[in-house]
Amino acid sequence: MANYYRPLNDLGRHLYGDGDLLELELSAVEEADALGNGLLAINPRPYQVCSSNYEGGRPGEVVTLALRKEVESALVGGGHLKRIETSAKAEEKGAKPATSTRKKG
């Protein structure tokens, strides 16, 4: 599943592509490497809270989060959050840098 990332420096742009907002399909390991090396930042996205066992919001609320793939997978797979799909334009509109990863190519 693709996520949106922002390159943080010239090396990040060289490795992952030019642009303010990049749609990349990275593995959890690739993402961790890119985030840990300061190359990319995760672009926050909306999620609907589906569980009363999630501290970040009440069931039915929409929260905007910048989640690493492994954390997102656990929260979505566990039924706590539901990913709300958005377009790149919508993502760009309310974007705040967070943390990110690497492009396949």
| pLDDT tens-digit map of 48-77 | 999 998 888 999 999 999 999 999 999 999
pLDDT at residue number 5: 97
For the ranges 3-17, 59-73, 77-91, which has the lowest average pLDDT? 77-91
The DSSP code sequence of the chain is --EEEEE-SHHHHHHH-SSSSEEE---HHHHHHHHHTTSEEEPPEEEEE--TT-TTS-TT-EEEE---HHHHHHHHHTTSEEE----HHHHHHT-----------
pLDDT at residue number 47: 97
